[in-house]
Each structure stands twice: as C-alpha cells, then as structure tokens.
Amino acid sequence: MKSHLLFLFFTCLHFAFFSQIKNNNTNSFSAQLEFHSNASQIYEQNGIRIIANLEKCNEPSIGMEKDYIFFTFENTNDFEVEIDFDEHLYYDWICRTCENREYHKTFSMPAGDNWVSNCQFSSQKSIKIFHGSPWVNEKLSKFELVNIKIEKQ
C-alpha cells in the first residue's frame, strides 16, 4: 500500500512539473529573422495571432536605409482581450532590454480587430523593432516576446 501511494505521489509530481514546463514554453515567442532564410514567424495563443515580418524600409531619396520587424496582431475571438508581454531584444547576442520596464507592453484589443503595420503604414497601435541598418554597427540577432498574457475583458 505504501509503495502504491509513493508511486502515485511521484507520478502526480512528475505531471505537475511537466505541465509547468509546458505552460512556460507556450507563453513566449522567440525568433531569429533573416531576409535570406526566415523573414516571417507566426505565434498563436488564446485566439490571438501575432505575425512578425522582417522588412527593408529603404527610402534613398531621404537617406533612410533601415530594417524593421513589424508585428501584425489579429484577435480572432468574439470578445475584447488584454494583451501583456515583455520585449527582450538581443543585439549581437546580448539582451539590451531584459529587466527594463520600458519594454513592457500592455494594450486592449477589440473583438475581431486586426492591427497591421509595415514600412508604408503604421499607427499608434503599431509595434516594430529596429533590426539593423548599414549605418549602425549592432544588428538584432534575436527577439523574444516573453510572459505573454492574454485575458478576456
């Protein structure tokens, strides 16, 4: 009887740890985007789709040559949600924004809404990350959206 209870205890403990690890993995979006191999990534959680697209925003007539990662947010739910996350930006493989509250984002998104941004169009709701430029030595090597929380409003 004792061995049966002990086995049951360790089995439950194993599943508890496994489910915690699994939950942590589903609440972050990590990507390394490159023009030649991987210019887009998609992340989905609780009816929210986040699409990251790497774009060259070149306007030589005004001297602009910059690359950005633009994010599209889609709420496929029939209710408003609050989205909350932290941006971890790695330039030359060093996180420059970890533990910096300035890179914590919180916003509400109405049901069925779709926020698109790119080189030609962006709004106050747009989120973009500087990727690189010929005039800047550092280049974004990786980004992570971590601690993603999506809650029904």
- Looking at domain 29-152, its CATH architecture is Sandwich (2.60)
* Interval 73-103: pLDDT, tens: 999 999 999 999 999 999 989 999 998 999 9
**Please, what sign has the CA dihedral across residues 73, 74, 79, 85?**
negative
pLDDT given at position 49: 92
Q: Which two tokens stand for residue 78?
A: 């029939």
Tokens of 146: 């971590």
Would you kindly state where each structural domain of the chain is located, as residue ranges?
29-152
Token pair 């009887």: residue: 1
